[in-house]
Structure 1
Amino acid sequence: MPGTAYPTLEALLAAVRDCRACEAHLPLGPRPVLHAGNTARILIVGQAPGVRVHTTGIPWDDPSGKRLRAWMGVDKDVFYDASRIAIIPMGYCYPGRGTHGDMPPRRECATLWLDQLLAQLPQIKLTLLIGQYAQRHFLGPRRKSTLAETVKNWREYAPQYLPLPHPSPRNQPWLKRHPWFEQQLVAVLRARVETLTTPS
């Protein structure tokens, strides 16, 4: 339960997966989706699970995940290896549908659990901040007025953070308006990921 000191990451993850703090507000009920290992060197912070991920319980198990893996230059074996890559979204459960897509991630997840989780991940060298919610939380006043400007100015946040647009197919218009992202920044991302996921 929140407020408890957990001796291991495994115990903490079990507690997070049992969390029911937002149950009354979740249309499909609670099903926290995240994974991590305390040797992971990369952390992926996205928004919140969609319906498909809620159903399967596998993070990024959708077309967005396929594109993200392509951007990173990794296959599923590497992507889902919790000893190398941790996946902790801003919201752990599907928040429901809004007027223009899914609702924002609920704030309780970060409030109750995020600091505890990060404290159990001492080897993280690179955090991928995917979308505005992750960028707002981790970059605070350092982020720019638009997501495009934040991503374009990625050097200001490197090497600790790398801000990215969301890889959702719904974001294709953004990618077309900003071709520099896939032409330039994806190569930087792949090089960093390869360095941090290759056994030394």
Structure 2
Amino acid sequence: MQTLLAEIRACRLCEAHLPLGPRPVVQLGTGARILIIGQAPGTKVHQTGIPWNDPSGDTLRRWLQVSREQFYDPEQIAIMPMGFCYPGRGKSGDLPPRPECAPAWHKRILAALPNVQLTLFIGLYAQRYYLGKRYSTLTENVRHWQEFAPERLPLPHPSPRNRHWLTKNPWFEQEELPVLRARVHEVLKS
């Protein structure tokens, strides 16, 4: 795992397209039982090199009901975004994850994570890549979470910008979050 991590951190595959330069942000441990596949780091995560080290991460940890210590223990939770580096800013927020990362790294990372029992797909990019295009929107993917459970769960992005989505879709907090929390605690105890 250390060799793989060193190779990832040295990656310069899409350097020419990164406004802040490359700084791959992942968290991996061979003992991890939960895998989080998100989109790409934002500027704060790029600056610190710590995944989900921002308000979105605070919300995600609250959703999972895990402490920062649990969340940042790579032997419990692995974190592998679709794009490992900050992709830059677009008109309405951050740009999509760079398309080079997932094909270049994900298979190797997944092979190095033999103990994963639960994978969380956060955002439409991760859901389309791993769950296919069965449903055309994030809302439809998340609404049909039972079809993917208990090993895989699609989630909306926990960004503060998604407050409108959460208000419009109260079933997420009422129906999926309790199941998500129970599954997270079950897997972490195993």
Corresponding residue to 1:67 among 36, 47, 59: 59
- How far the C-alpha of 1:160 sits from its partner, in A, is 2.0
**Within the alignment, does 1:181 sit opposite 2:172 as a pair?**
yes
- Structure 1 gap segments, 5+ residues each: 1-8
Structure 2 residue aligned with 1:5? none
- How far the C-alpha of 1:33 sits from its partner, in A, is 0.3
- Computed over aligned residues only, the root mean square deviation of the Cα atoms, in angstroms, reads 0.8
Structure 1 residue aligned with 2:149? 158
Corresponding residue to 2:29 among 26, 34, 37: 37
Q: Distance in 2 between matches of 1:191 and 1:128?
A: 14
Structure 1 residue aligned with 2:113? 121
Structure 2 residue aligned with 1:101? 93
Amino acid at match of 2:69: D
Q: Distance in 2 between matches of 1:82 and 1:197?
A: 12
Q: Distance in 2 between matches of 1:45 and 1:158?
A: 15
Identity %: 62
Moved over 4 A (4+): none
TM-score (norm 2): 0.98
- How far the C-alpha of 1:148 sits from its partner, in A, is 0.9
- Name the SS of the counterpart of 2:25 in structure 1: coil
- How far the C-alpha of 1:137 sits from its partner, in A, is 0.5
Q: Distance in 1 between matches of 2:133 and 2:64?
A: 27
Q: How does 1:128-167 map to 2 (within 5 A)?
A: 128-142=120-134, 144-167=135-158
**Within the alignment, does 1:46 sit opposite 2:38 as a pair?**
yes
Q: Deviations over 1:79-102 (max 9, x none)?
A: 001001000000000000011100
Q: Distance in 1 between matches of 2:2 and 2:174?
A: 39
TM-score (norm 1): 0.93
The count of aligned residue pairs is: 190
- Name the SS of the counterpart of 1:27 in structure 2: coil
Q: Distance in 2 between matches of 1:157 and 1:196?
A: 16
Q: Distance in 1 between matches of 2:42 and 2:133?
A: 28
Amino acid at match of 1:121: L
- Name the SS of the counterpart of 1:58 in structure 2: coil
Q: Distance in 2 between matches of 1:118 and 1:106?
A: 19
- Name the SS of the counterpart of 1:129 in structure 2: strand
Amino acid at match of 2:152: Y
- Name the SS of the counterpart of 1:141 in structure 2: coil
